[in-house]
Structure 1
Amino acid sequence: MKITADVLESASTLKRPTHESRDAFLKRVSHVSLVNKGIGVMENLGLCRNLSVLYLYDNKITHITGLSGCLNLSQLYLQNNQIEEIEGLDGGLHALRILHLHGNSIQYIRGLHNLPSLEHLKLDRQRLSPGQSLEFSQDEFSVPLAASLKRLSLEGNKINDIGPIVTLRGLEELDLSDNRIDDAESVEWMVASLPHLHTLSLSSNPVVVKQPAKLRQRIIVAGLALETLNGKPIPENERVFASNFQAAQARRHRVQNSKANSSSDLQTEESLLDPALAAADEPKPVPHLPPYATQYRDLILQMKGMADLERVKEQAKVKKARPVVGRAGIRKRSEVLADLAASAAENVQPL
């Protein structure tokens, strides 16, 4: 289907009086809905000079065109088309506040720098080739977009790098669910860099699957304005608990580091005073042993001790029972054997 004057008139929410010309009528049309009409080309939209809201989703549009005369356009719905590039939005669309482009085939976020009033951008679930992901073009999120954009939805786009989002200082709602974000520190840094962010969704990301409770605490502490995380509200008592818990962890780490530094300094001083101690601290070479030697070392040592004990007993049986003379006088052979057995038992290593 082609967009003609007749089509625009029928797609309007108004009804043209019989005495009014079509051109005059179209100039005051503010809302046009052409949903699921098989449209492939955006054309003749400039006839509607007062156009404010345009619904063109669920069509076959491949390029964004024909909007240069729509200076009052504030809402544009182009989801579920075949668009591959964000283009055609630099023709004076300074009033555009809402832009829906989800369900297309866009790989790079660009072409938005001339939209100073854009507040809501929706780019969920782009239909990309295997191995591709939605990417941010360099410096795309710069002034004035960084200050105007308040709601950003990027669900299901295989995104891993979220660094460019930190420039969107005015962001209030952010949906990054079902992506490939796996770095907790980058998430914490992003949240801390967005002072007005009150709603965040990170569900179905690897970083959430790893340690959901611990990550939630870190995000709550980093996001001072955050009110809802992954669809769950953040009550005040949870924020207080998370803050106290992190503060306690920080104190414990400081104490541990202080003790480690003190111990290291003491060892250094002792090494300087005693060269022999410094030499003793040097790592000793470990002799090479076959695999089985370490595995059965304790058993071998115990068997060796038992063999020594048996050898002492055998030697005692061979000798004849006669008194043993020493400085302390005459001792019985049983006493001598007991001493020998105790001495051998001391050499037995436990398992």
Structure 2
Amino acid sequence: MVRLTVHLIAKSNNFSKACRSESLQQYLKKLTHLNFSNRSIEDIDDLSMCRNLTVLYLYDNQISQICNLGFASNLTHLYMQNNNISCIENLSSLHKLSKLFLGGNSITVVEGLDELKSLKELHVEGQKLPRGEKLVFDPRSISSLSETLCIVNISKNNIDEIWDLAPLRKLTHLYATDNQLQDILELETKLYVFSWYLEDLDGKQINELSRQFLVNWKASKDAKKKLDDGEKQITNQLTTDFCTGPQHPFAHDRSSSLSKPSEYGKPGVTFRTAQVQGDSRGKRRDKYSSEDWQTLKI
């Protein structure tokens, strides 16, 4: 197993060049950038001597767990794409982290980001997901990033809807290609309405004119839906009134109510007078055929 240790750092060319003038401890204390990408590293050892580390490159390795980074309170950039990571964890002390690259891992849930109050970029594209599963988002993490996160890359993750990203009010760039999103117009409208700062959607620039057009379009669509729902409610109520029988307020005098549509009838309802016939005993009775009831219209 290849572990990232201070001794491995000591063997690097950069330290060899500096070792003549300073000790390993001094070198590690001054170290701000560390690049150990594509080194077959499987684990991260104690690197607490690198207290001033700001940028760490660990992509293209075989790391399965994010660990031993609690010391890196000055870290601003973390590159760990194309490893074997399945869980986002142990990042709570990285209060200055602004860019996090975790694409090409095996992450199924975007979580563990609650304390990253400075995070501006999140890259989780192309996760190696189990068949039939999609990448999902922990609402707590998304909510905690609502005022900071600007750039999000969620491409190639079988995602079929993005309502979970609605709280990201400062979002300016979203990359979501090669997913299972269906209604593109509705998708863009959601993003434009919820993210006033959005400037780029999968490389397509969003200007203020197009944003305002879609906002107005959505408002018009919502108003029409509200009107349609109101009309449907009235229709359902009228249908209920005709079918409830004795519960109808005029059921005790049906012939009277039917004969006075202008007084008791509701607007938009057409009534048809019943046929009055006598029975075998000479008594009056109202007779409605199925055809008569079908002519009641709204």
After TM superposition, is the score higher than 0.5?
yes
Paired residues for 1:235-250 under 5 Å: none
**Matched residue, 1:68:** 70
Indicate the larger mover: 164-173 or 11-20: 11-20
Q: Is this contact kept in 2: 1:55–1:77, CA < 8 A? A: yes
Q: Secondary structure at the match of 2:164?
A: helix
Paired residues for 1:227-306 under 5 Å: 231-234=203-206, 267-268=268-269, 270-271=270-271, 274-275=272-273, 282-283=293-294
- Offset, 1:14: 9.4
Higher radius of gyration, 1 or 2:
1
Paired residues for 1:181-192 under 5 Å: 181-183=181-183, 185=186, 187-192=188-193
More helix as a share of residues: 1
**Matched residue, 2:176:** 176
- 1:104–1:171 Cα change, 3 Å: same
Amino acid at match of 2:53: L
Q: Secondary structure at the match of 1:99?
A: strand
Q: Secondary structure at the match of 1:174?
A: strand
CA distance in 1, matches of 2:5, 2:187: 49
TM-score of the aligned structures, taking structure 1 as reference length: 0.61
Deviations, residues 200-259 of structure 1 (Å, cap 9, x unaligned) = 12xxxxxxxxxxxxxxxxxxxxxxxxxxxxx344567767887898899999999999xx
CA distance in 2, matches of 1:60, 1:113: 26
**Matched residue, 2:124:** 123
Q: Is this contact kept in 1: 2:198–2:206, CA < 8 A? A: no
Deviations, residues 288-347 of structure 1 (Å, cap 9, x unaligned) = xxxxxxxxxxxxxxxxxxxxxxxxxxxxxxxxxxxxxxxxxxxxxxxxxxxxxxxxxxxx
- 1:81–1:249 Cα change, 3 Å: closer
- Offset, 1:82: 0.3
- 1:34–1:186 Cα change, 3 Å: same
Indicate the larger mover: 27-36 or 183-192: 183-192
- Report % sequence identity: 33
Deviations, residues 249-286 of structure 1 (Å, cap 9, x unaligned) = 999999999xx99xx97641x42xx52599866327xx
Quick check: 1:38 aligned with 2:40? yes
Q: Is this contact kept in 2: 1:12–1:29, CA < 8 A? A: no
- CA RMSD after TM alignment: 3.6
Q: Is this contact kept in 2: 1:48–1:70, CA < 8 A? A: yes
CA distance in 2, matches of 1:86, 1:8: 25
Indicate the larger mover: 5-14 or 245-254: 245-254
Deviations, residues 88-111 of structure 1 (Å, cap 9, x unaligned) = 112x21111100000000001111
Q: Secondary structure at the match of 2:201?
A: strand
Say which structure, 1 or 2, has more relative contact order (CA 8 Å, 6+ apart).
2
Q: Secondary structure at the match of 2:9?
A: helix
- Offset, 1:57: 0.3
- 1:281–1:78 Cα change, 3 Å: farther
